[in-house]
Structure 1
C-alpha cells in the first residue's frame, strides 16, 4: 500500500497522469440538513445505537457523481467512479451494498462490451481501494464483523442485474471470483433469466433462471429481485434454498407503481428468511399520507412492511448517491423509462421534489433513520435488527 490513507481521494495514485477533468458533486452540504425536530436524548440514543451495532445499507451508490448529471454517461464510461471516502467515514455505516452503475446502464441488449464494462469497473474500483485502508472490500461475513471492530467501512460489490452474463452461467463463477457478492435477476427489462418489472406481460423466471438461482446458491451469491417482475421474484424465492433479498423497493399497496412490490412478492421474501430493504429513490416510496417524497413517506413503507412480514425481515436500502439523484433519473429517462412503461411514475407536479428530504445521500441516511426509529418508540433490539442485524443474519445463510 502506498501513501497515507487518511484524506485519500479516489485515484490519487494517478497524480501526474493525464485524466480528463470532470467536476464532481460535493460529499457534504449539497442540500440543507434534515430538520426532524429530534431532541438531544433521541439523537444521543440513535448515535449510540449506530456506534454499537453493525449497520448495513442494502443498496446505495457511495460514489461521487458529476456536478452536471448530463456528464454521467461519459463519466461512467471511464470506469473510474470516485468513492466518497470522507462521506462514508461520517455515515455511521459498517457496510454498504455498492451496486455499480453498469448494473443499470448496461442492461439493455446483449452487446459483448457489457461484460467488459463490468470487469473494467470491478478492477478500477478495487485498484483505487487498494491504495487506502479506511474502506475495505467485503467478501465474507467476517469482513463485516472486522470492519465494525476496526472502525472501517465495508463495500459489498453487486450488480443490479445478471444481464451481462447472457446465457453463460460460468460467468457467475467469474463474477464471484472478481468480488461480486450480490446480483439481481433482471433490471426492469427482461433478460434470459426472467422478467423485468416494466414488462406488460409477466413471464416469470425462465428455466435458465432457475438454473442460475441454483448456481448462485452454490456459489454464495446473494440474489436480489428489486427490479424483477412480481412473478419472477416469487418464483425465484420458490427456486432458492437460501434467503432472497429485495435490496431496494417498497410496498405497492401504499403507492401503485411497478417499481414497488405486491404483498405476495414481499411475503415471498420473508418466507425464504430474506430481507426487504426500503428504498428512497426519488418519487418511488411515496405514500398517500406523505405524497411529497421525504423520509416520512419512506418510513410509511417501512412500517407497512413490518406489519406485513415482521420486523425480522425488513431493513433499508436507500438507493442514494452523492449528487443530484432527480437529475440522474432525468438523464437516463430515455434509456430506463421509455414512454408507456413508467416504472418511476412521478406524482403530480406540485408534489415533485428536487431531492428526498432526510435521505439525500449515504452520509445522512442512517443517522436520520436511527433517530426516527428511536422517536417512533422502537426498542434497542428492534432497531439493531433493522439497522443491520437482519441482513447479517440472512448473509450468514447465503454466503457459503
Structure 2
C-alpha cells in the first residue's frame, strides 16, 4: 500500500515582505513601476515558494516620509494590483480566509494588503470602505510616532486613542478589516483592544517581559488581545534582546513566553522581513548606519535600533527560516499540532473570525 503524501504545513507571515533585497540598482530602476523600491523578481518568488510560505501580509501605502499619504497609498495599491496581475501562477490576492486555504492548496503565495500607518484615511472615514473595496485587509493604527489616531510606541506621552481613533476602529470593524496594534503605544493598544467590536491583532512584536523595549508588548497587552480572540505575531527583529543581536533562540524564547501568556491558539509569526536573504552582509552593514541615522532624524526610529544591529535575525533568514524555527520548537518539546498553529494555523483561524470565509 502506498504511503500517503505528506501535506506541507500552512505558513502565514503576519507581517513580512515579498522582495529580493539583492536586486541590482539597474533592476530596481526597472522595477520602480511595480511598487516603490521593491524588487518582486524571479528570485523573490522562487525563494518564497521554496520556503514553504503560504501567505504574507505585505506593507503597502504610506508609512512615513513626505509623500501625500492618501495619493501615495492609492498609487501603491495600483502598483501591487499590477504585480499580482503579472504573476497569476505565483501570487494570489487574499481577501478572505478561504483565499489563504486556496493559496495553500494551489501552491501559490497569498498576498495580503496591509497598512503600517493609518494616516492615509485622513479625517474621512469613508476611505475605510474605499480601501476595503480595493483589497486592503489589515490596518495598523500607528507607526512608532503619534498620529491623529493614537500614540505610537515611541510617543512619550502614551496618550491612547483619540476620539477620531475610536471612530476609526469601529469603521474598520464595520468593514471587517483587521485592527493591527503593532508599533502602538501601550495605552493605544489597550484602549483599541477594549474598544474594538471584533478581535484585534499585534501582527509583529516581541514580549516586553523578555526584552524591555518599547516596541515589545507588555503581558497586559498580550493577554487582553488574546482574551478577546485576537492574534499576536512574534517578529524576527533586534528588539527581541537588549543587546540588539537577536538569535533564533531568542525568537523561540519570545514565542514560549507569548504562548504562556496568550495560550497556544493566539500566537504566530510576523517576521517583519522578506524570505530572500541579503547576500553581502558586510556591504549591508556599511549602509546600515546611514539608514538608522535617517530614521532617527525623521523621528520614526525605535529604541533598540543602532548602527550595529541588524533588522533581522542573522541565523533565522533565507528559504529555510520557517523549517529552522519549526525544528527549534520541536527540540523544546512542542508538538506538531502546536507548531502548525504557530506557523500559520492561528493566523488563519483569526482571519476567519475577522474576515470570514
**TM-score with structure 2 length normalisation?**
0.86
> What residue in structure 2 maps to residue 37 of structure 1?
none
RMSD of aligned Cα (Å): 2.9
> What residue in structure 2 maps to residue 301 of structure 1?
254
Q: How many residues align?
A: 340
Q: Which stretches in structure 1 are left out of the alignment for 5+ residues?
A: 1-46
Quick check: 1:240 aligned with 2:200? no
Alpha-carbon offset, residue 103 of structure 1: 4.3
Specify the SS of the correspondent of 1:220. coil
Alpha-carbon offset, residue 222 of structure 1: 0.6
> What residue in structure 2 maps to residue 119 of structure 1?
74
Specify the SS of the correspondent of 2:160. coil
Is the contact between residue 66 and residue 72 of structure 1 (CA under 8 Å) also seen in structure 2?
Answer: no
Given candidates 336, 343, 348, the residue that maps to 2:295 is 336
For residues 129-148 of structure 1, the aligned pairs below 5 Å read: 129-132=84-87, 133-148=89-104
Alpha-carbon offset, residue 114 of structure 1: 2.0
Alpha-carbon offset, residue 76 of structure 1: 6.9
Distance in 1 (CA, whole Å) between partners of 2:208 and 2:302 is: 12
Distance in 2 (CA, whole Å) between partners of 1:242 and 1:374 is: 33
Distance in 2 (CA, whole Å) between partners of 1:78 and 1:90 is: 23
Is the contact between residue 292 and residue 301 of structure 2 (CA under 8 Å) also seen in structure 1?
Answer: no
Quick check: 1:105 aligned with 2:64? yes
For residues 217-232 of structure 1, the aligned pairs below 5 Å read: 217-232=173-188
Alpha-carbon offset, residue 96 of structure 1: 0.8
Quick check: 1:358 aligned with 2:320? no
Is the contact between residue 62 and residue 70 of structure 2 (CA under 8 Å) also seen in structure 1?
Answer: no
Is the contact between residue 34 and residue 82 of structure 2 (CA under 8 Å) also seen in structure 1?
Answer: no
Q: Which stretches in structure 2 are left out of the alignment for 5+ residues?
A: none
Specify the SS of the correspondent of 1:394. helix
**TM-score with structure 1 length normalisation?**
0.77
Alpha-carbon offset, residue 276 of structure 1: 0.8
Given candidates 153, 156, 175, the residue that maps to 2:131 is 175
Specify the SS of the correspondent of 1:366. helix
Distance in 2 (CA, whole Å) between partners of 1:160 and 1:121 is: 13
Distance 1:329 1:284, change over 3 A: farther
Distance 1:120 1:142, change over 3 A: same
Superposed CA deviations along residues 319-377 of structure 1, whole A, max 9, x for unmatched, are: 1124478678645434533499862425896xx4585223234x332121112122221
Distance in 1 (CA, whole Å) between partners of 2:270 and 2:311 is: 20
Distance in 2 (CA, whole Å) between partners of 1:238 and 1:216 is: 14
> What residue in structure 2 maps to residue 370 of structure 1?
326
> What residue in structure 2 maps to residue 199 of structure 1?
155
Alpha-carbon offset, residue 314 of structure 1: 0.8
Distance in 2 (CA, whole Å) between partners of 1:76 and 1:297 is: 36
Superposed CA deviations along residues 26-63 of structure 1, whole A, max 9, x for unmatched, are: xxxxxxxxxxxxxxxxxxxxx95xx4332211110111
Distance in 2 (CA, whole Å) between partners of 1:72 and 1:247 is: 28
Superposed CA deviations along residues 155-190 of structure 1, whole A, max 9, x for unmatched, are: 111011101211111111111111110010000111
Quick check: 1:292 aligned with 2:245? yes
Superposed CA deviations along residues 198-233 of structure 1, whole A, max 9, x for unmatched, are: 111111011111111111111011111111101101
Distance 1:176 1:302, change over 3 A: same
Quick check: 1:93 aligned with 2:50? no
> What residue in structure 2 maps to residue 210 of structure 1?
166
